[in-house]
Structure 1
Amino acid sequence: MGEKKQYDLVVVGSGPGGYVAAVRAVQLGFKVACVEKAARLGGVCLNVGCIPSKALLDSSEHFIQAKENFSNHGIRFDNLSFDLAVMMARKEKVVADLTDQVEKLLDRHKIDVFHGTARLESPREVAVTVDDGSPKILSAKNILLATGSETVSVPGISIDGDRIVDSTGALSFDAVPEHLVVVGGGYVGLELGSVWRRLGSAVTVVEMLPKIAATMDGRIIRSLERMLRKQGLDFRLETRVSGVTVTNGTVKVAVEGKDGASTLECDRVLVAVGRRPLTRGLNLEAAGVGTDSRTGHVRVNSRYQTDAETVYAIGDLVPGPALAHKASAEGIAAVENMAGKPGEVNYDAIPAVIYTWPEAAAVGITEETAKERRIPYCVGTYPFSGTGRARCMGETDGFVKLICHSKTDRILGVHILGPRAADMIAEGVLAMEFGAGSEDIARTVHGHPTFSEALMEAAQSARKCSIYTS
């Protein structure tokens, strides 16, 4: 079947889980190969996910700030406009620069990269079909599956890549939609809906559940929805899409909600209802790798081994949130386990972020979860309007909410809605990783004036000792 090469580890997939694992394996003395079916390394995250979406979010946020808020700082514009083509080109350059860095990283670590489609032949062999059709057999002591996930569609909606798109298509519109209907009120829908709303689209978000961003803390959800409505997003909650038709460039979306059936007319539809593990074509059965019949996730143990002990799986292929940083952490842990070292991931300390503006970020459990589990807890909150830095920037919306155990003081969750929440949450993650209590954050001196002071104040509030609370 062609040329056969020997490796200690073959990584299938070069996303944030795969390429990080490959580099860590080299550091541990492994001879490593990485297989990637796409022309560029980096996986979904770098090419059509995390990175391009954040590039557009930043560009569109700069525009809306200049349009609506700069005048408050005495900065005025005449005939303010934007060039969508330049904005898209900048996004592509950001992606190209980062994927090039990944390529150089793997090259520097002498990792053999094969661009082609991977298929398991056995628990120790991966067949790679390259572009010219010639097969290669990669033999390895261990195999790591890191192929990520793919978008989920909705019955009655056929994604055509033109008028009806998934998240990849919504990153590359050649014109601003007059009306964009977003099916799904999760992270992706809210972020991409925000991009196009800022650039002038009417945006309607259709969500089956009674709330957006359902995994977030209840107070965060309610406040975020209110802020996004104020920005112009329209939400149709407890509403499902029953069908979509396209006629002469006009898209009609049939929806059914609490008030009955109706039709939304628009020119673009974004389907953003979630993702599923991408295992198609991997030939898992040939290696004895099993999956969950309900979710499609690959079954793994605490060491990330599948049913076949030489085959490991990480990232979106296994249970847990579909987050790039989760995949990276699992990739490192899996490789360390292969090397006989103790590798694990603390799933209680994995942050989640929604990159709207203001940003929403969280780590640990929500107040609702604490109630469900009957955990005795205390809550401390503090608004950004009370911090000097937020006042100086004119970014006073939002708050910090800290949940701690009422008997031990150990921090159970940190939830932030506001400016720079994506960066601020790191302090909460570190605190939880080290088993800190609210007193530890409350007694830590924070720079003044900074946004992070709000976290310190929330921690003090949780201990009933804030100088600003009675």
Structure 2
Amino acid sequence: MLGKYPVFPPTDEEFLDPPGRDEYDVVIVGAGGAGYHGAFELSKGGKKVLMVDDKGNLGGNCLYEGCIPSKSVAMTIYLADKLREILRSAGSDGASAVRALWEDAIAHKDDVQTIRYHQHIREIKEHGNLEFVKGVARVLDGHRVEVRDLDGSWTREVRGRYLIVAQGSVPIEPPIRGSELAIGSLELFGYRTRQRSMPHSVVVIGGGYIGVEVSLMLATAGRKVTLLEMLPRILSGWDGSLVGEVERELRGKGVEIVTNAKVTEIRADASQRAVEFVRPDGSRGSAVGDAVVMAIGRKPYVEGLEHLGIVEDGRAAVDPTMRTPVDGVYATGDVIGKFMLFHAAVKESTIAAWNILHGHPVYEVNFNSIPVTLFTEPEAAYVGITEDSARAAGIPHSVVSYNLEDDAYAQIMGVRKGWVKIVVERGTQRVIGGAIFGEAAGLVINEIALAVATNARIKDVALLAHQHPTIFESIDRAAIRFSL
């Protein structure tokens, strides 16, 4: 619920005041990645901007309970595991002593969140023409927004020449009996969460990227994990070659993967939780753990927008310039239901701001060049048209690849498993996509994304000299294998 959090992030006294004006050039509803990046651009462009968010700070759910804290926990656990393996391969007697406790990882993510929240306060104050208010915003029409304090002590109506709707997403509420017995991202990674430790055994419901990331980090931290997915495979929509690698990593860490398992009920059974599920053939099964994690995804938060005429199929409808069907109203981020990722929201927000500054649509979001990363160990990532999707669409293509077992940086880091694949359109020789499994895949995939965004040819990629020794060398090692 808006304005209801176990612990609020740090804020500033001046953000608690009601809006100081009646009219603004732009009113932005929401201060996650879909809101504040555009606000900063508009401020730099001289626009008078009001931005409203109920957390009283920037970053949205990504910083409060999502990408930043979850990756902080994961990286703490994986770095310790990686160092332990390097020491073990070197024959060190101290290898077994290297371990990261879940409690330590949680403390680290709290520190990271606090650092970023104080950074955001400074950033808001550095941008002139930008007024930030901690409150709840309700869109009345294409120009008017009602803003109220969280406790209802004041209410103001303001007007904007333009509106940017960036109110994000909310967790999907499954029709599962006993779902209140499960915990989610809020309890796991929320700012200063009370869930400081995790029990020995955990059942994770949902085999999308969130469920898979949580399962592997828990298993690496020594927990017994059962992962339940209702579809025939985990990571639905991902390239099959990546899914196969990730499944091997999960099983290698002891994760039990159960697919075709539609969860029907969660029951408290003494000190444990029993999760009941049904298979497509009608047979039933169950999984038992000390805790249950619900990770079935999120949906666009469109409450209060239906009357505007911008909601279609449960999301805010936009064109590639981020305009909605209503003149002067833009929508960005999770609320549009496309790539529900922070970096996608940032670009959407920036594009909307630039188009407002120009007074008419000039820029468009290239959704095909937005990378997607699974922050496991090793990481998995893809962008654009993958091998599976090119084959399914009948696109004439070639695939060039490079095995990271032969990469110098991967050898240095002790993570030699993995590969790089680049998908090339035949005839034009344009890079149209790619996939990576291995060390720092989430970093390296950005280079393929740049090639996709700029319509680069594979020869252009092969000619780029990469710093040695870095994992980025794997890109030109793969590209140079293309037969001209």
Q: TM-score, normalised by structure 1?
A: 0.92
| Residue type at the aligned position of 1:427 | E
1:247-266 superposed matches below 5 A: 247-257=269-279, 260-266=283-289
Partner Cα separation in structure 1 for residue 198 and residue 89 of structure 2: 27
1:83–1:369 CA distance, 2 compared to 1 (3 A)? closer
How far is 1:87 from its partner? 2.6
Tell me whether 1:404 sits opposite 2:424 in the alignment: yes
CA 1:408–1:79: 2 relative to 1, 3 Å: closer
Q: Report deviation, 1:453.
A: 2.2
- Give the conservation status (yes or no) of the 8 Å contact 2:317–2:324: yes
C-alpha RMSD of the superposition: 2.1
Instruction: Tell me the distance in 2 between the aligned counterparts of 1:316 and 1:157.
Output: 27
| Structure 2 residue 280 is matched with structure 1 residue 242 | no
What is the CA–CA distance in structure 2 between the aligned matches of 1:3 and 1:450, rounded to whole Å? 51
What is the alpha-carbon distance in structure 2 between the residues aligned to residue 55 and residue 210 of structure 1? Answer: 31
Instruction: Mark the CA change 1:291 to 1:258 in structure 2 (over 3 Å): closer, same or farther.
Output: closer
Distance 1:2-1:438 versus aligned 2 partners, 3 A rule: closer
- 1:468 match: none
Q: How many residues align?
A: 457
Q: How many angstroms does 1:452 deviate by?
A: 1.9
Q: Give the deviation of 1:109 after TM superposition.
A: 0.4
Q: Which of 385, 394, 403 matches 2:405? A: 385
Match of 1:313 among 325, 331, 345: 331
For the 8 Å contact 1:176–1:199, the answer to whether it is kept is no
Q: Offset of 1:75 from its aligned partner?
A: 4.5
Give the match for residue 292 of structure 2: 269
TM-superposed CA distance for 1:364, in Å, is: 0.7
Residue type matched to 2:403 in 1? P
Among 327, 346, 349, the alignment partner of 1:328 is 346
Q: Look up the SS of the partner of 2:28 in the other structure.
A: strand
Matched, 1:200 2:222: yes
Residue 127 (structure 1) aligned with residue 149 (structure 2): no
Q: Quickly say closer, same or farther: Cα 1:157–1:359, change in 2 above 3 A.
A: farther
Which residue of structure 2 aligns with residue 440 of structure 1? 460
Kept after mapping to 2: 8 A contact 1:19/1:102: no
Determine which of 382, 390, 408 is the counterpart of 1:362.
382
CA distance in 1, matches of 2:424, 2:145: 48
Partner of 1:13: 30
2: CA distance between counterparts of 1:158 and 1:13? 32
| Conserved? CA contact 1:332–1:343, under 8 Å | no
Partner of 1:180: 202
What is residue 317 of structure 2 aligned with on the other side? 299
> Match of 1:17, SS?
helix
Check whether the contact 1:291–1:297 (CA below 8 A) recurs between aligned residues.
yes
2-side partners of 1:28 and 1:279: how far apart? 29
Cα distance in 2, alignment partners of residues 284 and 273 from structure 1: 25
TM-fit CA distance, 1:3: 7.8
Partners of 2:21 and 2:479 in 1: CA distance? 58
Aligned residue in 1 for 2:255: 233
1:202-252: CA deviations, max 9, x gaps? Answer: 111111222222222211111221122112222112222121112333211
Question: 2:7 matched to which residue of 1?
Answer: none
Cα deviation 1:266-323 (Å, max 9, x = unaligned) = 111111112101122x3541xx23311x3x1112233322232122111111141101
Against the structure 1 CA distance between its residues 399 and 170, is the aligned structure 2 distance closer, same or farther, given a 3 Å change threshold?
Answer: same
Q: C-alpha separation between the residues in 2 aligned to 1:336 and 1:152? A: 32
Structure 1 residues not aligned, in runs of 5+: 466-470
Please give the alpha-carbon distance, in whole angstroms, between the structure 1 residues aligned to 2:87 and 2:237. Answer: 34
Deviation at 1:47, TM superposition (A): 1.1
**Which residue matches 1:278?**
301
Q: Is the 8 A contact 1:4 1:137 kept in 2?
A: no
CA distance in 2, matches of 1:185, 1:427: 28
Counterpart Cα distance in 2 of 1:135 and 1:215: 45
1: CA distance between counterparts of 2:475 and 2:30?
38
Post-superposition shift, 1:80? 4.6
- Select the residue among 90, 93, 97 that pairs with 2:115: 97
Contact 1:152 1:275 in 2 (8 A): yes
When residues 67 and 176 of structure 1 are mapped into structure 2, their CA distance, relative to the original with a 3 A threshold, is farther
Give the Å deviation of 1:441.
Answer: 1.4
**1:25-64 superposed matches below 5 A:** 25-64=42-81
Superposed CA deviations along residues 327-361 of structure 1, whole A, max 9, x for unmatched, are 11011111111222612111111111100000011
Q: Counterpart of 1:337?
A: 355
CA 1:314–1:62 in 2, change beyond 3 Å: closer, same or farther?
Answer: same
Query: Does the 8 Å contact 1:177/1:196 carry over to 2?
Result: no
- String of CA shifts for 1:352-382, please: whole Å, max 9, x gaps: 1100000011111121211222110001111
Alpha-carbon contact 2:265-2:276 (below 8 Å) kept = yes
Q: CA deviation at 1:4?
A: 5.6
Equivalent pair of 1:176/1:200 in contact (CA under 8 Å)? no
Q: Give the AA of the match of 2:331.
A: A
1:44–1:361 Cα change, 3 Å: same
2:234 alignment partner, one of 212, 220, 233? 212
* Bigger Cα displacement from structure 2, 70-79 vs 124-133: 70-79
Give the whole-Å Cα distance in 1 for the aligned partners of 2:157 and 2:117. 26
Q: Is the 8 A contact 1:10 1:142 kept in 2?
A: yes
Q: Displacement of 1:15 after TM fit?
A: 0.4
1:50 & 1:321 partners in 2: Cα distance?
14
Compared with structure 1, are the counterparts of its residues 177 and 383 closer, same or farther at alpha carbon in structure 2 (3 Å cutoff)?
same
Counterparts of 1:458 and 1:325 in 2: how far apart (Å)? Answer: 26
1:395 corresponds, among 400, 407, 415, to: 415
Deviation at residue 76 of structure 1 after TM alignment: 4.0
State whether structure 2 residue 372 is matched by structure 1 residue 352. Answer: yes
1:408 aligned counterpart, secondary structure: coil
Could you tell me how far apart the structure 1 residues matched to 2:100 and 2:352 are? 45
Give the TM-score taking structure 2 as reference length. 0.89
Shift of 1:201: 0.9
CA distance 1:33–1:464, shift in 2 (3 Å): same
* C-alpha distance in structure 2 between counterparts of 1:314 and 1:205, whole Å: 32
Deviations 1:13-33 (A, max 9, x none): 110110101001111211011
